[in-house]
Structure 1
Amino acid sequence: MSETTVRDESRHIAEAFVSARRAARGLESYPGAIPTSLDQAYRIQDEAIALDGRDILGWKVGRIMPPLAGQYGANRLAGPIFDGTIFFDAQGKPVSMAVFDAGFGAAEAEYLLRVGTAPDPAQTSFTLDEAAALIDAVHVGIEIASSPLGAINDLGPAVTISDFGNNNGLVVGAAIPDWRSLDFAAWPVRLMIDGVEAGEASADAMPDGPIGAARFLFELLAERGIQAKPGQWISSGAVTGVHRVVPGARVETFFGSDHRLECLISAATSDRE
């Protein structure tokens, strides 16, 4: 396949996803040739970011589980979180978060890391301590994973990457005071849907925990020639798993003994409405 053909195919796929998201329209199948490598997938994502045009206010990081991690040569993936999709906990009034009713929708309990200092653009490799030094706050949060493509999570990580990492928003909860001195990654985390527990786990089960997600992201963005910016959020990975939700669902998350966060799931609507 020629370079021109690859470029045209990447743009066609990106246009299909961006158009479907803007219209809140489902996609019955993947809109093109499924990317066979993560490099191809991030190329499609880059095209879609340019077409979308909104400012990037954060990045989601997700897991690639074995054996696919070995096949693709990475144990994590990333996607942009756009302006207009990040909401802050109103402390008592649940935030409404949208999913594509005709596609895929899920809620995930996550630790959110805020970038305090931009990485050196020339630095391509980070230790955990170097990554942590660039973070100025850690909050509890909920990521809304949603795509117009219902089968997105069944088709592998390259497909997930190509549609913004399957992200459709973020709920930012309370900050964790003294997070540098606390072993917050060991806290028990629970997620409930309509009053029924959907999952319980702790973030230390992830490779190098939430800071490992930040290190991965800084290295990936450096490789892609993208500058992480102060104030951007890093959604560090689904602690209790990926839990399917539909419009009308109520999602509650509990982090340790002190932090609770809630949102209500709604149906995405067309940008033209």
Structure 2
Amino acid sequence: MTVVHPHGLSAPTLTDAEIAGIAASFVDARRGATALADFPGPLPADLATAYAIQAAAIAGWGDEVAGWKVARVPPALEERLGAMRYIGPVFARGIRRFDGGDLSFPVIPGGFGAVEAEFAVQVAADAPADKLDYSPAEAGAFIGAVHAAIEVAGGPLAPVNDLGPTAATSVFGNNTALIVGERVPTDDEGGGTAGADALRAEVLIDGQSVGVGSTAKLPGGIAAALAVALGTAARVGRPLKAGQWVSTGALTGVHAIAIGQSARVCFTGFAPMSGIAVAAMPAE
């Protein structure tokens, strides 16, 4: 498996052979829908190494990157890792539009699965490849539309949440799918986040409320999360493109879901998005 060192990040602290072996394990496990009980190699101590593993796994997966998910680094680890957020790829085959019907949330048996209420931004324009840092104000210019969404998080690595953000970053960003729901209206039907900022989200698992929240749970709001996606995607050599999606972070928390459980995600004034967790099937 080819290892490419992202040009905008520090050099990885694992060898190319270690990075390639870990990435290959993740690709094989995801493709076969088989669980991993432990991290398949040395756990990265830094995000630069985790992104190198992620890049190798993306190259080995064989699907177009159609967007990115953004997730929080636990506050206790922010200083050591030098970041508040990390990103992971959302593949084209994993993006679905909510059409009002019942949903299915694929979970690898024995792996990790979760649902998260999020706001997804559709990118308005291609980002320059050579710009590696953005302010929230600069990121705002790339907001084409904001939609209610569900991130189906998870993957083959069962203890990913216990292992922390370098593990999650490595294993495809711990993303399985993105379900794009209704567009959030704005006063001028253009960009901006004011409409989203006024909404509340709630997640129910098997009919029980497990979390309520809003963009107040996103430090700096949607634009700050998008700024991280813009800068980090450029640093790893995949600058954002017009039409791609960025899922901007969990509004109510990360809610683990097991095969057979139901989830219902509600946004103020929108039709609820509901479905069942099902066993993920091996990829063709």
TM-score grouping bracket, smaller chain normalisation: over 0.9
1:185 is the counterpart of 2:194: no
2:119 — aligned with what? 111
Q: How big is each residue's C-alpha offset from its partner over 1:202-223, in whole Å with a ceiling of 9 and x where there is no partner? A: 1122111111110011111222
2:148 — aligned with what? 140
Is contact 2:47-2:166 (8 Å) kept?
yes
Deviation at 1:184, TM superposition (A): 2.1
1:254 — aligned with what? 266
Is contact 2:259-2:279 (8 Å) kept?
yes
Is contact 1:87-1:95 (8 Å) kept?
no
For 1:4 and 1:74, locate their aligned partners in 2 and report how far apart those are by CA, in whole Å.
17
Structure 1 segments of 4 or more deviating over 4 A?
2-5
1:263 — aligned with what? 275
Deviation at 1:186, TM superposition (A): 4.2
Deviation at 1:236, TM superposition (A): 0.5
**Matched AA of 1:197:** S
Work out which of the residue numbers 37, 41, 46 in structure 2 matches 1:37. 46
Return closer, same or farther for 1:209/1:5 CA change in 2, 3 Å cut-off.
closer
Is contact 2:96-2:179 (8 Å) kept?
yes
Q: How big is each residue's C-alpha offset from its partner over 1:158-188, in whole Å with a ceiling of 9 and x where there is no partner? A: 1110001100001110001116263522422
For 1:147 and 1:10, locate their aligned partners in 2 and report how far apart those are by CA, in whole Å.
18
Q: How big is each residue's C-alpha offset from its partner over 1:211-270, in whole Å with a ceiling of 9 and x where there is no partner? A: 111001111122222221111110111110000101222211112233522232111011
- Please, which runs of 5 or more residues in structure 1 have no aligned partner? none
For 2:105 and 2:21, locate their aligned partners in 1 and report how far apart those are by CA, in whole Å.
28
Return closer, same or farther for 1:208/1:79 CA change in 2, 3 Å cut-off.
same
2:3 — aligned with what? none
1:50 is the counterpart of 2:59: yes
Which sits farther off after the overlay, 170-179 or 12-21? 170-179
Normalised to the residue count of structure 1, the TM-score between the two structures is 0.94
1:95 — aligned with what? 103
Return closer, same or farther for 1:222/1:167 CA change in 2, 3 Å cut-off.
same
Is contact 1:140-1:259 (8 Å) kept?
no
Which sits farther off after the overlay, 245-254 or 17-26? 245-254
1:207 is the counterpart of 2:215: no
Q: Secondary structure at the match of 2:258?
A: coil
Identity of aligned residues (%): 37
Return closer, same or farther for 1:116/1:29 CA change in 2, 3 Å cut-off.
same
For 1:265 and 1:5, locate their aligned partners in 2 and report how far apart those are by CA, in whole Å.
35
1:74 is the counterpart of 2:83: yes
Normalised to the residue count of structure 2, the TM-score between the two structures is 0.91
2:132 — aligned with what? 124
Work out which of the residue numbers 183, 204, 223 in structure 1 matches 2:235. 223
Work out which of the residue numbers 10, 15, 20 in structure 1 matches 2:24. 15
**Matched AA of 1:51:** G
Return closer, same or farther for 1:29/1:154 CA change in 2, 3 Å cut-off.
same
For 1:98 and 1:23, locate their aligned partners in 2 and report how far apart those are by CA, in whole Å.
13
Deviation at 1:16, TM superposition (A): 0.2
**Matched AA of 2:185:** P
1:241 — aligned with what? 253
Q: Secondary structure at the match of 2:194?
A: coil
Residues matched between the structures, number:
270
- Please, which runs of 5 or more residues in structure 2 have no aligned partner? 1-10
For 1:59 and 1:181, locate their aligned partners in 2 and report how far apart those are by CA, in whole Å.
18
Deviation at 1:48, TM superposition (A): 0.3
Is contact 1:104-1:151 (8 Å) kept?
yes
Q: Secondary structure at the match of 1:84?
A: helix
Which sits farther off after the overlay, 181-190 or 43-52? 181-190
